[in-house]
Amino acid sequence: KILTYALKHNNHRSYSSSTVEYMDAWRQVVEVLCAVTPPDIFPVDPRMVLLLEIVHVLLKKVVCVDNIAAELAVKCSGMVMIMLVNLRHSLVLKMKQERILKDVPEHQLEIDSRKKYDLKSENNMSTLRIILSNIIKWILSSSI
C-alpha cells in the first residue's frame, strides 16, 4: 500500500511539474508573439483579438479549477498580466495609428474594412465582460 501511494504521489508531482512547464512554455510563446513581434509582421487589430481570446480561454479554465497549485497560479497570473499589458499597448498603438491616419487625406487611404476589427463590437464587449468577471473571480478565489 505504501509503495502504491508513493507511486501515485510521484506521478501526481510529475504531472504537476509538467503542467507548470507547459504553462511557462505557452507564456513564453505569447510573450514573444505579442511583446516582441513588430506590428508590421503581426498587425494590431488581429493581435488584440487574439489576446482577448487567449485571456478569455485561460481565465475560463483557471477559474473552474478549485485547487490549483500555487506555482501554476503564479504562472497563470503572470501570463494574464502580460497579455493585458500587451492588449493595452496594442490599443494605445492603434489609437496613435488612427490619429496619424486622420492627418492623411482620405483619397490616399487604402483601408480594407473587412480586415478592420472593432474592439467595441457586441461580441468583443461580451468577451470583455466575461474576462472582467473571471478576473474578479480569480482574485476572490486566490489566497493572496
How many domains are there within the chain? Answer: 1
Question: What does the pLDDT look like over 58-101, one tens digit per residue?
Answer: 888 777 766 666 677 777 888 888 888 888 888 888 888 888 87
CA angle (144 as vertex; 79, 18 as ends), nearest 5: 45
Mean pLDDT of 118-133: 74
For 2-17, letters b (16+ CB in 10 Å) and e give eeeeeeeeeeeeeeee
In contact, 117 and 49? CB cutoff 8 Å: yes
For residue 41, the enclosing domain spans: 2-141
Q: What is the pLDDT of residues 30-65, one digit of tens each?
A: 888 877 888 788 888 888 888 888 888 888 877 776
